[in-house]
Structure 1
Amino acid sequence: MRHTLLQRGLLGMVLGGLLASTAYARTLDTAYGDVEVGDSPERVVTLYEGALDAALAAGIHPVGAVTTRGGDNVAAYVSDYMEAHGSARPEIVGVVREINIEAVLAQQPDLILAAPQLPDAQYQLLSQIAPTVVPHTQPLAADNWEAEARLFGQALNREEAIEEAISDVDQRVDAMADAVAEAQVGDNAYLVRWMPGGPMVMSENLIATGLLERVGLDVQGGELIGERGVHSDVLSLENLSQVDGDWLFLATLNDDGQAALDSAKHSAAFNRLNVVQSERVVPVNGQLWSSANGPLAAQAILDDIEKALLP
């Protein structure tokens, strides 16, 4: 409690005058109601991977960000993009569920982009530092990233750049769908995330599985997920035949998951799968394929799909 009160007092004293003098130009509809944002934010902190992705796609280089899930820095695909475009890495200000308020304050942001379902207590502190934009929570769907990217684009006053980034994804998907149909590479696919405890089938409503669907593969496994939402229960090795389709995309999140998968590859149950014998098992980055979000993530996932289906 003492720490929280100290934070509130510090924010009020340091930033009260600054916030009072900021000229706001636009009003956005967010999960916490209408939020006024300035025309040209220069110091942006992103507290959500989808926000960091959208900001970079819009040509903004945030000064602060949170780590990727299970990692100690931003996602590998984000690092690759920033390196290719010569942009400095943002300061790490926490993880999604443990934001360091003092670290955010130290960046002196004029705009904060946060995740859906940001807790109210964190929002109340963050919104004292700078206008904080939180997307509305939506039912799980493969195209949720587009609505979120558009909101972040509005907050950054870069709507045209975001629309162009989304259009680039659409055009690439259309071209790949034609090529996949012509190549006749198969009809269906599973996306499985391999955890230390075993494999879980991922929902067809993720950005990755949505892109697989859009390029022409029928993503299977919905009956195994049921009402659980994002993924199934862990499958035993004896039940791996339930994910034996034309393609199997295998995602691991960390070294422990990779070690478990490496061990499974030595099992008879794994090697009996038709998809294994036909050499259509595709290892992918679990952080990208099951946790990332945004137009840059979509392009990175399409890179993997294209490499697998259209070598």
Structure 2
Amino acid sequence: MPASTVLGSHICVSDLTRRRFVVGSAAFSGLFAAGCARSAGTEGDASGMRTVTTSLGTYDIPVTPKRVVAIDSRLDLEPAVAMGLPVIAYSFDAAEPWVPADPTAQVFEAPVNVEAILALEPDLIICTDIGEASDMWPLQQLSQTAPVLPMDFTRPWRENIDQLASWLNRTENPEVRQVIGAYEDKAAGLKERHARSLASKQIVLLNYVNQKVNGVNRKGISTQVAEDLGVQLQWPVEGQKEISTENLVTSLDSADGMIVTTAPGVDPVTDDRAMWNRIRAVQGDNVVYTGGNINYGSVYTAMRTLDYFDDLFTRLEN
């Protein structure tokens, strides 16, 4: 994983020069009005600004931002990197090793301290919008620092990238088209190689955290990739509920293979889990452990998830 500078979430900036982003009253007259349309912006003017409409209202953003902060290292950082934006800082967690983030970017603890973001003097902020006020994603406070582009928590990763590209007038951006094209080509190759197994094998997606086994978010990245590939998924529990130890074997016994999201270095097989080792897929070595979070993210996490499915179906075919 690239080395990053981890900063505390309570940095004092009382002695620092504070540059506040000032907008005209007309631009933000409907800033937080409910039901604002999410639409593409108008062409940039001579000042290098461009008017956009988002869930936060209608306002101006820089056509070519120079100092971008991505608040969430998953939903916000990955689209920004794919778009080739100069990300100087992000928060939540250090980027996963498969995300080509700038190793010199500062990493803030979550929830991020708005004063610390202010001290960086960003000209654009990208922040997840979960549809309500949140300390983790403080949209309203951040919008007083710099213009904010909100990523929709409920949208598939492709739609969020397309929306960001539309706002920034980069729908034909070669960098993002290249990375999405690489994903599509890789997915097509996997579907061709494993066509028979994709049609017949039953796969389960799980999370393994703190010796607990849970289901996954049905709208998460791993599920989106599974849908792209036509994977036959089983759902042993509803959503992200925990699978109790006493039900572990029976709940997972019919699965041919599993992809299990784990933290780096965590392996349930050696984690004193006698019941885990009685699961049919585990006994057949038809389980792939991710060593990183594939529940949330964007194109880079989707690309990595293709590797996990490729590994799993290769195991099932050997």
TM-score, normalised via structure 1 length: 0.76
Amino acid at match of 2:288: V
Matched, 1:190 2:194: no
Residue 297 of structure 1: how far off its partner (Å):
1.3
Residue 53 of structure 1: how far off its partner (Å):
0.6
Matched, 1:89 2:104: yes
Higher relative contact order (CA 8 A, sep 6+): 1
**Residues 189/182 of structure 1: CA separation in 2 closer, same or farther (3 Å cut):** closer
Q: Corresponding residue for 1:27?
A: 51
Q: Distance in 1 between matches of 2:159 and 2:169?
A: 15
Residue 148 of structure 1: how far off its partner (Å):
1.4
Q: Corresponding residue for 2:71?
A: 47
Matched, 1:241 2:282: no
TM-score, normalised via structure 2 length: 0.75
Q: Corresponding residue for 1:150?
A: 162
Matched, 1:129 2:140: no
Aligned residues: 275
Q: Distance in 2 between matches of 1:119 and 1:294?
A: 23
In structure 2, the gaps of 5 or more residues are 1-11, 25-45
In structure 1, the gaps of 5 or more residues are 1-5
Q: Distance in 2 between matches of 1:88 and 1:36?
A: 29
3-state SS of 1:248 partner = strand
Q: Which moved more, 1:299-308 or 1:104-113?
A: 299-308
Residue 309 of structure 1: how far off its partner (Å):
2.4
Q: Which moved more, 1:50-59 or 1:40-49?
A: 50-59
Higher normalized helix content (fraction of residues) = 1
Cα deviation 1:59-88 (Å, max 9, x = unaligned) = 2230010132xxxx222322xx24xxxx44
Write out aligned runs for 1:100-139 (5 A).
100-117=113-130, 119=133, 122-138=138-154
3-state SS of 1:170 partner = helix
Q: Distance in 2 between matches of 1:179 and 1:170?
A: 14
276, 297, 300: which one aligns with 1:296:
300
Residue 24 of structure 1: how far off its partner (Å):
5.8
Q: Distance in 1 between matches of 2:251 and 2:21?
A: 59
**Residues 28/169 of structure 1: CA separation in 2 closer, same or farther (3 Å cut):** farther
282, 285, 294: which one aligns with 2:291:
285
CA RMSD in angstroms, aligned pairs only? 3.1
Q: Distance in 2 between matches of 1:275 and 1:120?
A: 40
Residue 214 of structure 1: how far off its partner (Å):
2.5
Write out aligned runs for 1:241-280 (5 A).
241-244=250-253, 245-253=255-263, 258=266, 262-265=270-273, 267=274, 269-280=275-286
Q: Distance in 1 between matches of 2:312 and 2:285?
A: 11
Q: Distance in 1 between matches of 2:301 and 2:151?
A: 18
